[in-house]
């Protein structure tokens, strides 16, 4: 069955990507001018300029003013229309729809992301950002303040440099629109999910314009005891100081207050090695568990046009995260007969981090040898200060209570007194970078994109008794070529790198050189129906080199005295198909298929789905004006995780314990009716097949995804 699904999704995706224009679209242009891609009038556009599921550019891939089809790398964009159609109100739901991205929900309020076998840690806002401090995202981050989400797959050496060769996610914030507008939304759904949203934009006078977004959402959950209360406030003020100069200031505030959140998740096997099978609603949280996360981001932007061809842009961002939590973890292996054998583990955890980010660059066009070329030169500075602390209870007896049967537990356990064993982190990291990129028109329809980024990375401090001091300098090259055979079809190839500093020492007590991720990619891109549909077929090969591996010469020494050597790490290779835009008049779709193999780490290869299929589409019915239907589906192949061996005393003692999650598909449906230009009603049905599935095997524990649920959203535009 899995093989059949794989072949079906693959054949459908490739068929759509390569199908002739005349077979897909009934209303193609009668002729296409060969200069359609060379004579483009450049205009400045504010607000929501993207219609449907097709985007024209992705600023996170480079600072060049390029169409997506001209970027020699796999790029996809989750547009505002797609976010609204399927109520993708948080970044996890949004990235569930992105080609090649796997969302690893390890807990209710902590999430990892992977692409092509590597963790995704580079998250940017308008092209500026640092890797996630903890490697994962905490809490429910709302999408209401974003106009779209860009996903650049593979290493992104030009704009990040530090991190994994997986992907870069770039959130593009909403800005003032050309016309005054006010959008009001009210939504109610399963588990008392109430959401109110206001989004307004106004031209205050000839100089100032503003955009304001406010969200209030409260909801219970299919999980026992879990509920959240979220508040989002966002304001963007833009000042046009002259015809060539503008200055903007913005601030976002996200307050996510969760109660009954889990820390860790359900045990997945019994002592005899057989799989547990809890009810979907089973939660390991105590009734006093809570996790408050407050995120704020202030951004100042300055831009100036020296001429029609040259401009300067400078950005400063100050981001803070404040977390206060009281957590309850459950560990151990239960007995299949009694369901006993688990132990609770309470902790108080607090975190404060702040990012100061500055980026300035100049870009423009120039003529050389009778041809037009583009160049970008920029500087980047980023500083992260990160502190967290953990407290436990070793004295009252409430810190590590024996657990009853999880199937009947109501979360009632005495709250510990968190005063013991203080530990934590105090880390500071600084990145200084200079980057340049040139797009050179070597001959007709053939372009070379070449550049690089010099990163100076320094970190110091201590995290849970482990020294974090490291200093590395690295030049990250980037080279890509594109050749447009015909106006609708382009071939590309690219090579780039990323690096991550390492703290391990070699046999001579020298810090190992950084681990480097090398990403190579070749592909085809097409623009059909006057650019309304973009398709990409890509093959990629990624290798991780110089990864710290234990030196066998020191394997018998105590852990603190062991040394390391650089060796090959994870490698992955495979292909992707990405299709986005209007396939047929009134039919908008976003389709992605990824198929790859991981080498170098059997554990990662086991818990990472190697085939992913994403499909989202909406269709406007011609015979009922104002009515739209849609489907949003994601499928992944089976995954597994080795959990050790069965202990002595069982008939199958010594047998390997394997946790499996079979291949599954989650199908969401939507219907929208537009009463008039101002009012529409959208009904969403999620997981309509009521699939029961584990959200992740990234960790040795896991919990189940949401069962079938429903919502209705009323939208009013003024």
Q: What is the per-residue DSSP string for 65-109?
A: --BGGGSSS-EEEE-HHHHHHTT--BHHHHHTTSTTEEEEE-SSS
* Residue 162 confidence (pLDDT) above 70: no
| Cβ proximity of 112 and 135 under 8 Å | yes
What does pLDDT average to over the chain? 88
Measured in degrees and rounded to the nearest 5, phi and psi for residue 527 equal -120, 115
> Is-contact 710 688, C-beta < 8 A?
no
Please report the DSSP string for 187-224 in residue order: EEETTTEEEEEEEEEEE-SSSEEEEEEEEEEEE--SST
- Per-residue confidence (pLDDT) for residue 41, from 0 to 100: 36
pLDDT at 122: 85
Q: Which residues of 93-116 are buried (b: 16+ CB within 10 A; e: fewer)?
A: bbbbbbbbbbbbbbbbbbbbbbbb
Kindly give the pairing relationship between strand 627-636 and strand 611-620. Answer: antiparallel
Q: What are 63-109's pLDDT values in tens digits? A: 777 888 888 999 999 999 999 999 999 999 999 999 999 999 999 99
Place of tokens 């389709």: 591
Sheet holding 75-78, edge to edge: 75-78, 146-153, 167-173, 122-125
Eight-state DSSP code of residue 131? B
Beta-carbon contacts of 541 under 8 Å, excluding residues fewer than 6 positions away, are 519, 520, 521, 571, 572, 573
Q: What is the pLDDT of residue 528?
A: 87
Q: What angle do CA 149, 172, 619 make, to 5 degrees?
A: 45
State residue 37's pLDDT score.
40
Whole-number pLDDT of residue 552: 81
Q: Which of 73, 213, 168, 127 is nearest to 540 (CA)?
A: 73
The predicted-structure confidence for 257-316, as pLDDT tens digits, reads as follows 999 999 999 999 999 999 999 999 999 999 999 999 999 999 999 999 998 789 999 999
Q: What pLDDT does 548 receive? A: 76
Number of H-type helices and E-type strands within the chain: 5, 35
Residue with the two structure tokens 């009603």: 681
In this prediction, residue 8 has a pLDDT band, given cuts at 50, 70 and 90, of very low
- Residue 99: the pLDDT is 96
Q: What global pTM score does this model have? A: 0.89
How many angstroms separate the CA atoms of 221 and 98, rounded? 25
pLDDT of residue 32: 37
Q: How far apart are CA 684 and CA 85, in angstroms?
A: 9
What does the pLDDT read at residue 495?
92
Question: How confident is the model over 358-368, as pLDDT tens digits?
Answer: 999 999 999 98
Position 134 scores a pLDDT of: 67
Report whether 271 contacts 212 (CB < 8 A): no
Residue count of the chain, please give it. 718
Mapped onto helix, strand or coil, the DSSP state of residue 18 is: helix
Report how far residue 515's alpha carbon sits from residue 503's, in angstroms, rounded to the nearest whole number. 11
Question: In 3D, which of 69, 67, 90 has the Cα closest to residue 78?
Answer: 90
DSSP per-residue string spanning 555-606: TTS-GGG--EEEE---EEEEEEEEEEEEEETTEEEEEEEEEEEEES-HHHHH
- Span 438-466, pLDDT tens digits: 999 999 999 999 988 888 888 888 887 77
Shortest CA distance to 618 belongs to which of 670, 577, 682, 579? 670
Q: What is the pLDDT of residues 488-504, one digit of tens each?
A: 999 999 998 887 777 67
Say which residue, 635 or 38, is predicted with more confidence.
635
- On whether the CB atoms of residues 26 and 584 are closer than 8 A, the answer is yes
The pLDDT value given to residue 65: 74
Give the torsion sign (CA, 490, 495, 496, 497): positive
Q: What is the pLDDT of residue 559?
A: 65
Kindly state the percentage of the chain with pLDDT values over 90: 67
User: How many of the other CB atoms lie within 10 Å of CB of 61?
Assistant: 25
Question: Are the C-beta atoms of 172 and 58 separated by less than 8 Å?
Answer: no
**Does residue 28 register a pLDDT over 50?**
no
Query: Which 8-state DSSP code applies to residue 552?
Result: G
The pLDDT of residue 50? 45
In this predicted structure, the answer to whether residue 112 has a pLDDT above a threshold of 50 is yes
What is the average per-residue pLDDT within 349-378?
92
């Amino acid at each position: 069955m899995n093989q059949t699904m794989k072949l079906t999704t693959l054949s459908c995706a490739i068929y759509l990507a390569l199908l002739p224009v005349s077979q897909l679209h009934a209303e193609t242009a009668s002729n296409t001018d060969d200069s359609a891609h060379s004579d483009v009038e450049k205009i400045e556009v504010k607000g929501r300029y993207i219609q449907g599921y097709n985007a024209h550019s992705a600023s996170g891939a480079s600072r060049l003013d390029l169409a997506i089809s001209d970027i020699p790398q796999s790029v996809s964009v989750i547009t505002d229309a797609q976010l609204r159609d399927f109520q993708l109100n948080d970044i996890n739901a949004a990235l569930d729809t992105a080609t090649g991205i796997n969302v690893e929900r390890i807990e209710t309020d902590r999430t990892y992301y992977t692409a092509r076998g590597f963790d995704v840690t580079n998250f940017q806002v308008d092209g500026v950002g640092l890797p996630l401090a903890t490697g994962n995202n905490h809490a429910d981050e709302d999408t209401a303040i974003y106009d779209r989400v860009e996903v650049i797959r593979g290493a992104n050496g030009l704009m990040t440099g530090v991190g994994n060769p997986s992907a870069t996610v770039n959130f593009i914030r909403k800005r003032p629109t050309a016309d005054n507008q006010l959008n009001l939304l009210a939504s109610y759904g399963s588990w008392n999910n109430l959401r109110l949203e206001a989004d307004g934009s106004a031209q205050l006078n000839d100089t100032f314009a503003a955009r304001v977004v406010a969200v209030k959402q409260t909801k219970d959950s299919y999980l026992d005891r879990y509920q959240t209360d979220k508040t989002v406030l966002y304001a963007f003020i833009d000042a046009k100081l002259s015809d060539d100069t503008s200055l903007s200031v913005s601030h976002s505030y996200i307050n996510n207050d969760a109660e009954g959140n889990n820390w860790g998740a359900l045990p997945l096997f019994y002592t005899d090695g057989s799989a547990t099978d809890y009810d979907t609603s089973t939660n390991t949280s105590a009734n006093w568990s809570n996790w408050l996360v407050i995120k704020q981001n202030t951004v100042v932007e300055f831009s100036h046009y020296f001429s029609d061809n040259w401009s300067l842009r400078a950005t400063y961002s100050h981001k803070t995260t404040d977390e206060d939590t009281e957590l309850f973890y459950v560990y151990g292996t239960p007995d299949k007969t009694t369901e006993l054998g688990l132990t609770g583990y309470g902790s108080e955890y607090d975190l404060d981090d702040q990012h100061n980010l500055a980026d300035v660059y100049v870009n423009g066009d120039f003529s050389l040898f009778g041809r037009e070329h583009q160049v970008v030169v920029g500087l980047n500075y980023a500083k992260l200060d990160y502190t967290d602390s953990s407290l436990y209870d070793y004295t009252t007896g409430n810190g590590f209570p024996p657990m009853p049967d999880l199937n009947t537990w109501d979360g009632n356990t005495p709250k510990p007194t968190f005063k013991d064993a203080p530990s934590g982190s105090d880390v500071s990291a600084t990145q200084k970078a200079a980057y340049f990129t040139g797009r050179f028109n070597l001959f007709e329809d053939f372009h070379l994109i070449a550049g690089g980024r010099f990163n100076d990375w320094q970190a110091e401090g201590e995290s849970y008794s482990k020294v974090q001091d490291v200093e590395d300098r690295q030049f990250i090259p980037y080279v890509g070529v594109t050749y447009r055979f015909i106006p609708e079809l382009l071939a590309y190839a690219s090579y780039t790198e990323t690096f991550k500093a390492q703290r391990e020492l070699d046999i001579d007590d020298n810090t190992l050189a950084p681990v480097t991720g090398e990403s190579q990619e070749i592909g085809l891109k097409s623009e059909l129906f006057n650019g309304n549909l973009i398709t990409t077929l890509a093959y990629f090969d990624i290798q991780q080199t110089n990864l710290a591996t234990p030196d066998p010469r020191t394997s018998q020494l105590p852990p603190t005295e062991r040394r390391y050597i650089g060796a090959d790490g994870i490698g992955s290779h495979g292909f992707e198909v990405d299709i986005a835009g209007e396939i047929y008049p009134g039919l908008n779709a976003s389709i992605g298929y990824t198929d790859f193999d991981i080498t170098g780490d059997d554990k990662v290869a086991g818990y990472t789905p190697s085939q992913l299929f994403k499909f989202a589409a909406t269709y406007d019915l011609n015979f009922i004006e104002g009515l739209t239907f849609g489907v949003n589906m994601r499928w992944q192949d089976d995954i597994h995780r080795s959990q050790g061996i069965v202990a002595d005393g069982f008939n199958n003692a010594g047998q390997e314990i394997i946790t499996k999650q079979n291949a599954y598909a989650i199908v969401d449906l939507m219907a929208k009716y537009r009463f008039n230009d101002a009012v529409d009603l959208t009904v969403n049905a999620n997981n309509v097949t009521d699939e029961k599935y584990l959200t992740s095997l990234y960790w040795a524990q896991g919990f189940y995804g949401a069962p079938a649920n429903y919502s209705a959203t009323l939208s009013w535009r003024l």
